Structure 1
């Protein structure tokens, strides 16, 4: 689940600028995704969880400042590096972007060496406590441990603490059969007295929320998570 290369999301409504940035970044080994406006950027970010988002300020549908503000309101992106891309030197516009949560500005027109140096410098700022470590991606499921939420097919699904604990246990070793006694101990511990029915109810709730296909019953033994 660990990504080998830093992931960058480029957001600009001008395709030639996107391709120019992509070309230079991919030459340096970065994994690059692109979006054409703020709305698409928010959807894409929830799929790929980038290390850096480069947002153009002026775009149709949703501009960079509004997209930045929206991303910052979402738990997984509160510490993601966001750099605003702009051809304008307007101080007020920059103040507004910083207030929305932007970390830095990159000036247009793009100068490749300076652009790459700025991206590298921004990555060095990235804190090791990035929320990415609290996000797990498994095919069509994104599990946000801080928000007690699963994102499936772009839909946010809220989980209770026990549901999340149960899911995290099962996905810790996909394909492994977890015995009921093991689930009881790992999720509920010594201090709570529960029966098999409690486990079954929580499994049913998880299946209803994330899809029955992922959690299989091994009759008389326990449960296994399948991707």
Structure 2
């Protein structure tokens, strides 16, 4: 078993460019979703939780700059890498794009090979734990091949659903996911499960993960959902 393939959101209103990006990203093994304007981009980002956003500056409805600012205000997208795509090559424009929250900046016309290389480089920086067959967060190690979880020196025994849930959270450390988002990503969008089912499995996951005096790394965000967080105080 290998880590979940990163999902890239391409926000581009020129169909020819969007098609070119999708083809080359999928050829490199990425999953791709698309949005044609700024408002659609915000909706898709909230629903799909992409691992990276390729964001055109000049968009209908909302500019790329405004989309970038609004994404940074979403709990689920606060740390999502964003690469701006634009024909505006002036240094002042580049600084403006980066100041709005973008992680990188690519000027049109661009080399597709270079752009894909930048996507990979940004993901390596932001998701280093998914480069191999082992995920790590705090003192928890999840082995995808052996299907084994360890915390410090002890084995953690998880059921299949708790294992998938922990895996998904470890692949997106720090990001807050609602019950509905976790249901779609862990259980699957074609399976009907009550949202409160997530709470039950989170409790089971916590019980298995947390030994005496160990920090609870699963954070509950009231009215929002759950996330992995190393700053959560130990549960008594």
Deviations, residues 159-210 of structure 1 (Å, cap 9, x unaligned): xxxxx9x76432449xxxx9xxxxxx99xxxxxxxxxxxxxxxxxxx9xxxx
In the alignment, is the contact (CA less than 8 A) between 2:9 and 2:52 conserved in 1? yes
In the alignment, is the contact (CA less than 8 A) between 2:98 and 2:105 conserved in 1? no
Q: Does 1:40 align with 2:40?
A: yes
Output the TM-score relative to the length of structure 1: 0.59
Structure 1 gap segments, 5+ residues each: 145-163, 179-184, 187-205, 207-227
Which residue in 2 is equivalent to 1:170? 200
Alignment of 1:92-171 (within 5 A): 92-127=92-127, 132-133=172-173, 134-136=175-177, 141-142=180-181, 168-171=198-201
Shift of 1:105: 0.6
Q: Distance in 2 between matches of 1:94 and 1:107?
A: 9
SS state at 1:60 partner: coil
Which residue in 2 is equivalent to 1:86? 86
Q: Report runs of 4+ in structure 1 exceeding 6 Å deviation.
A: none
Output the TM-score relative to the length of structure 2: 0.57
Shift of 1:60: 1.3
Number of aligned positions between the proteins: 154
Q: Which has the larger radius of gyration?
A: 1
Q: Distance in 1 between matches of 2:85 and 2:116?
A: 13
Which residue in 2 is equivalent to 1:17? 17
Give the CA RMSD over aligned residues: 3.2
